[in-house]
């Protein structure tokens, strides 16, 4: 089914594009890197020279680079950041398009994965783990700040912090998990899957869910090539690609 949807969109995009060559620069939050690379590669296969060029960084850095580049085309970052830019007037004239949510999650270096489907199981898992890595909250890491508040609410901050390793970001967290230097890693589910989906324990229980929504904003969404790519991102196939890579697609 996925292959048939892929073939369909290759055909539809091919017949919707103009023939002039152009470069479209997308600045995107790294949390959505893998699905965006896959979807832009598919798009780039369907045209005669025009192509998507991706630039990935943290949500804030991607936004900054987008504004600094006079030839930037589209921005994919958190909905909160785009809302703020629209409110301030830094972004004007176009509506944002919600794409997908990334969820806070746990990864484990052990073959047998614990269950964290409810709060009691989460507490037991965190207390029984010998070591835990998460992004340093002092760096403003979204997951790190959320996790710190979560263990405070659970009343286990002291026990967890005694065995915690503070990583610079989610990538370093997952390096520690893959190297088996820690038993548990706390980061975005998309980053867990991008590193090694076999390490995934799962997202936090509903009571402590951390969902960060990514949205798209384009300077000229009506351009045929941009319109076609937006159609791909928001399509049923696009949703499958986001989902497979650990993000929760927004119902369009």
From the number of C-beta atoms within 10 Å of its C-beta (0-12, 13-18, 19+), residue 48 rates as: exposed
- The low-confidence residues of the chain, meaning pLDDT below 50, are 1, 3, 10, 13-15, 17-19
The domains of the chain, with CATH numbers, are 2-101+212-249 (3.40.190.10), 102-208 (3.40.190.10)
Specify the pLDDT at position 4.
Answer: 52
Specify the pLDDT at position 6.
Answer: 54
Specify the pLDDT at position 93.
Answer: 85
Dmax over Cα atoms in the chain, in whole Å?
62
The distance from CA 161 to its chain's CA centroid, rounded to whole angstroms, is 26
Specify the pLDDT at position 15.
Answer: 44
Contact 184, 108 (CB under 8 A): yes
Please indicate, yes or no, whether the overall pTM of this predicted structure exceeds 0.85.
no
How does pLDDT run across 192-243, given as a tens digit for each residue?
Answer: 998 999 999 999 999 999 999 999 999 999 999 999 999 999 999 999 999 9
Q: For 77-103, b where at least 16 C-beta lie within 10 A, e where not — what string?
A: bbbebbeebbeeeebeeeebbbbbbbb
Specify the pLDDT at position 14.
Answer: 47
């Amino acid at each position: 089914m996925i292959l048939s949807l892929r073939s369909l969109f290759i055909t539809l995009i091919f017949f919707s594009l103009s023939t002039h060559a152009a470069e479209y620069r997308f600045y995107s939050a790294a949390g959505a890197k893998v699905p965006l690379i896959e979807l832009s590669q598919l798009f780039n296969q369907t045209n005669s020279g025009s192509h998507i060029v991706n630039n990935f960084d943290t949500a804030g850095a991607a936004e900054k680079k987008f504004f600094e580049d006079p030839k930037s085309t589209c921005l994919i970052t958190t909905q909160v950041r785009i809302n703020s830019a629209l409110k301030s007037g830094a972004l004007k004239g176009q509506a944002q398009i919600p794409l997908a949510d990334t969820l806070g999650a746990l990864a484990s270096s052990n073959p047998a994965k614990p269950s964290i489907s409810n709060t009691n199981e989460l507490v037991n898992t965190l207390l029984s783990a010998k070591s835990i890595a998460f992004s340093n909250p002092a760096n403003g890491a979204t997951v790190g700040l959320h996790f710190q508040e979560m263990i405070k609410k659970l009343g286990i901050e002291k026990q967890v912090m005694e065995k915690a390793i503070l990583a610079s970001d989610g990538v370093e967290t997952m390096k520690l998990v893959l190297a088996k230097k820690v038993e548990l890693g706390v980061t975005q589910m998309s980053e867990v899957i991008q590193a090694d989906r076999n390490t995934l324990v799962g997202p936090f229980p509903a009571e402590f869910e951390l969902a960060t929504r990514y949205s798209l904003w384009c300077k000229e969404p009506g351009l045929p090539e941009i319109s076609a790519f937006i159609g791909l991102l928001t399509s049923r196939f696009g949703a499958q690609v986001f989902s497979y890579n650990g993000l929760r697609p927004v119902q369009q």
